[in-house]
Structure 1
Amino acid sequence: DNFIFNDSKDYIREGYSQVYFLREKGKNVIIGFFAISCGYLDFRRSLKLKRIKFIPSILIGQLAIDMNYQDKGYGSDIIKKVMTICLKVGEKVGCRMVIVDAITDLRTLRFYKRLRFKYLIKDAGEKLERALLRKHKPTESIVKMYFDLNYIRKF
């Protein structure tokens, strides 16, 4: 992936994100990677909370699994690691959501939905899914999805 070789070092050095690698046990083989950074969701239109304009979040900026390791649960393992990091961050600073700009293909959308991510704009996300099922080309290359950490947070 071009991000690993061309951009990741700059993103880390400049403080834009942190990159984590998943390696095969006992080998120096990279199975996959993910990059995360701080972000926020603008939920002003749909939340009824006073004085809250933006919801503190962690953005999954990149996530990829080597083709030889796909469909073996490694993507889910990476999301579990992301959630663990987010929960730890949330102990020190506010962090309510995990957000991702998901690529608009059915496989990717189903992956995130299976892990309980939701579309930021539900109607638009569902409309996109229906279009993809009918083999229509999406008008957008990404769709914003989120996971509410309160779903797994222990109070």
Structure 2
Amino acid sequence: MIELLDKKHNRDDFDCGKELLNNYLKNQAGQDIKRKLSACFVLAESTSDQIQGYYTLSNNSIPLSSFPEYIQKKLPRSYISIPTTLLGRLAIDTKYQGKGIGKILLIDALKRSYEISQEIGSFAVVVDPIDEEAEKFYEKYDFIKLPDSGKMFISMKTLTQLFV
């Protein structure tokens, strides 16, 4: 079951192979949750509370000028920044990699983001892939590159086709 991170979850042994993502979960996620900077969702083993993987969500905005021209034309010029949802981090412990957990967590994050967008404005889910491997992962799920940045996005309109 995917749930919000809390004290019962064992973070100490988490290792996804990327120190930045390990350190975030072990040292910063709890503080970010308390400060309302992000929400951290984990998939953990029910018996040991060992974290298999996690992702974070937060509010975000992207300058209108950062979107491809064909999308800019569809959005009102009065918006300098377009509201989005940031899928800030997504990581799977090395013991569980290659078992489809990344896909499960991504779909959960996208569904949760889509549902929230029904009540709070959000044009798209945005990611900033940590490396080329992560970029390929998001490309597989139809994320589109933003010109002039390493960020990628998938629109809520696209998610509507998946979840409705």
TM-score with structure 1 length normalisation?
Answer: 0.79
The reply on whether 1:31 has 2:52 as its aligned counterpart is yes
Percentage of identical aligned residues: 26
RMSD: 1.9
The reply on whether 1:70 has 2:91 as its aligned counterpart is no
SS of structure 1 residue aligned to 2:118: helix
Q: Displaced runs of 4+ in structure 1, greater than 4 A?
A: none
The reply on whether 1:21 has 2:42 as its aligned counterpart is yes
Tell me which residue corresponds to 1:101: 128
User: Is 1:76–1:115's contact at 8 Å kept on the other side of the alignment?
Assistant: no
User: Is 1:100–1:144's contact at 8 Å kept on the other side of the alignment?
Assistant: yes
Q: Give 1:112's aligned amino acid.
A: Y
Tell me which residue corresponds to 1:129: none
Q: CA deviation at 1:68?
A: 1.2
CA distance in 2, matches of 1:114, 1:43: 25
Q: Give 1:149's aligned amino acid.
A: M
The reply on whether 1:153 has 2:160 as its aligned counterpart is yes
CA distance in 1, matches of 2:48, 2:123: 36
The reply on whether 1:88 has 2:88 as its aligned counterpart is no
User: Is 1:99–1:145's contact at 8 Å kept on the other side of the alignment?
Assistant: yes
Tell me which residue corresponds to 1:43: 64
Give structure 1 stretches of 5+ with no counterpart: 126-142
Give structure 2 stretches of 5+ with no counterpart: 1-21
